[in-house]
Amino acid sequence: MKLIYTLLGLTVLLLIWSAINPFEYFTWFLEVLPAVIGVLVLIFTFKKFRFTNFVYVLIFFHCVILIVGGHYTYVEVPLFDWMQETFNKTRNNYDKVGHFAQGLVPAMIARELLGRKKVINSNSWLNFVVVCIAMAISVAYEFIEWAVSLGTGEGGDSFLGTQGYIWDTQSDMLYATIGAILTLIIFGEYHRSQINKLMSN
């Protein structure tokens, strides 16, 4: 419980920091909204379904990515500006980190929910469905970005963050898919051990 409260406190502090003179408040609101909604859902459902600490840590880092991106906008994050200049890149690639996490974190959330609720008993089918869910979330987010851009015109450009790259939408979805697949390969066994540990307590 101590870890969970610590992560929640750090998230709140980071959110307060990000709200102080962000690059642009409309973009800040759009970027941090998923993190705020996600945290509220976790708080209200905590007594009914408690995730493993591993998943809470992953969710925290995803929130960090979203909140930092909201403060600076994904196009202006200083560290990635430095990387862009140092490695002669044509764009700030912080948004790709965000989309990678957008596949990785939901994949672990879905895996734990479906696995513990015994929705899918076959591990192979579970992994397949988890990747499909992560991809669907990525697609849905691209729809939202498209709708916001159409609805707000130039006001939504920072949120969209294409930076002139015509394949930005497709590459965003690819990064999310890669994130989902890699996390199952790298963390699958560890995640299973954490679930078993939680269930045995």
Report the pLDDT value the prediction gives residue 167, as an integer from 0 to 100: 78
pTM of the shown model: 0.90
- Angstrom distance (rounded) from CA 92 to CA 86: 11
pLDDT tens digits, one per residue of 94-137: 888 999 999 999 999 999 999 999 999 899 999 999 999 999 99
Mean pLDDT of the chain: 90
From residue 67, give the alpha-carbon distance in Å to each of 31, 77, 144, 145, 201. Answer: 7, 11, 18, 17, 33
- Answer yes or no: is pLDDT of 194 > 70: yes
Q: What is the dihedral angle through the alpha carbons of 174, 176, 177, 181, rounded to the nearest 10 degrees? A: 140
From residue 79, give the alpha-carbon distance in Å to each of 16, 69, 86, 120. Answer: 21, 11, 10, 41
* 129: DSSP letter: H
The SS3 call for residue 21 is coil
Contacts of 57 (CB under 8 A, 6+ apart): 3, 7
Report the pLDDT value the prediction gives residue 35, as an integer from 0 to 100: 96
Report the pLDDT value the prediction gives residue 156, as an integer from 0 to 100: 53
Report the pLDDT value the prediction gives residue 3, as an integer from 0 to 100: 95
Runs of H (alpha helix) within 20-122: 25-45, 53-72, 78-86, 94-116
Report the pLDDT value the prediction gives residue 155, as an integer from 0 to 100: 53
pLDDT tens digits, one per residue of 169-184: 899 999 999 999 999 9
